[in-house]
Chain A
């Protein structure tokens, strides 16, 4: 994130520049007395792909909303890219959010805009001109496999396609951090794999990705870092964990993903010296994940 703010004043621990997200004793108590989060402390490094797991109501969404500044913590410090979120005034929140890509379970697309316009809106909200929009939007939609759906409205798309649009929208600004709250919650397993692959590829381009999910299968197969929340407390943080603690694992799924994507990226690295992230990341076959 480029606009690194003034040095944190209230962080209990010194800020580590490798951390994109730092939570220090964060608590969130809702006005009705519900405890959303209690004593949460965690670090997420730049470029990590992290699963946030836990049952419904455990506090996953609270963390997501705290990070996107939809909620304010009751106690504790949240730092994103070395910047204390408490220092961001209400007026500056939109500018902060432009450094985040957010993906939701219910897609949250604008129903009266085409696929193209949905993505274009996110760009123009950040002050992009028409030229920039015309250059970037078709690209990102092609890369997410939506080039044939440009002028369709969200209700004409399948759930998976809608989620692709929302990922395209989240990533069109190339934010350093993508938050996905139950991105596959409304999708069937087959479609979910495609969506996860897309997020994974975004991660491979250097973007930190935090995925809140309760999709056992996906977590177990991908073997990424897992942070488990239970009744508002962080109860587990494993480097290559399973959805449930202590489960045995196979590497098939992760291998499959790495084979297809990472292999291609590495291969191309040798040839494309000055190539942009996009080209390295996506290759030339956006349909690969379909």
Chain B
């Protein structure tokens, strides 16, 4: 295999077929841009969904007069309840610390006093089991009020919007998954089709090459290399555009905790994935699309 010969062939065909080559590159660029913008968004949505799922728990607040023995007894009862994954005790002091972190201003006013009760945090085995856990710990009586199973339990609570939130998050997951599938499918079709078009224009050339005794790979290598270069250029350009967009759009948002807190793929990894995808799709696309025309 003569590499310099193939590179000269590639250069010849790139410069002689500038428009189709550009079209192929542009389609790689656009596809990778869309994918590159979509992947972090999807990741963020999924991370948000995961966080919400992890945060779903049942809080069991104790009465203010609960003693240490009370705490130990209630803890045992809770651990023995069905569907419970883990039980975490949060003392008055811990609760205060946590809340101070969230909203330091509000707790300054209170000075040294601590209005927060001791509490248990129950993480369910499955977020969907929350209603069952609540019913087991504090069945509602005929008056509609809670009747906790232990007298020292003041209240059993969960965030009211939890079930709705879970539903939304599941929908987001399904939606982004579906969208990703469609997007990847359409990008393969788009790039593949562009390559096919530019190859179709050169099918006669391929036929002649075969008739003078060129092997399939002798003909194919320049096409694959060409696809590789086109994919590389398209990928690099897409990554540059994404980098600019990220710095311009997300840079100012970096200090906002909502955005910052959600872990997304690092940009280097994203760039790597896009690069590999663009090169692989266009090189494979060129090589495979050629197959039809090689049957001479």
Contacts and interface: CB of A to CB of B under 8 A. Distances in A.
Interface of A: 68, 70, 91, 94-98, 100, 102, 108-113, 121-122, 124-126, 129-130, 169, 173
Given A110-B208, A124-B5, A70 B213 contact: no
A122 B213 contact: yes
B6 to A, nearest CB: 10
Given A102-B211, A110-B208, A130-B5, 10 more contacts: A97-B211, A100-B213, A108-B207, A108-B211, A112-B12, A112-B16, A122-B212, A125-B212, A125-B215, A126-B213
Interface string B44-81: 00000000000000000000000000000000000000
B210 interface: yes
B209 interface: yes
Contacts of B5: 124, 130
Nearest to B202: A112
6 contacts: A95-B213, A108-B204, A110-B209, A112-B13, A112-B16, A125-B215
B151 to A, nearest CB: 86
Interface of B: 2, 5, 12-13, 16, 204-205, 207-216, 218, 296
Given A70-B296, A125-B218, A109 B213 contact: no
A125 B209 contact: yes
B188 to A, nearest CB: 28
A94 B213 contact: yes
A189 B178 CA distance: 67
A192 B210 CA distance: 27
Nearest to A100: B213
A111 B205 CA distance: 8
Contacts of B208: 108-110
A98 B16 contact: no
Nearest to B205: A110
A94 B210 contact: yes
A94 B207 CA distance: 12
Contacts of B16: 112
A146 to B, nearest CB: 17
Contacts of A126: 213
Contact of B213 (A91, A98, A110, A129): A98
Contacts of A173: 213
Contact of A125 (B204, B205, B214): B214
A169 B296 contact: no
Contacts of B216: 94
A116 to B, nearest CB: 13
A8 B205 CA distance: 34
Contacts of B207: 108
A252 B13 CA distance: 49
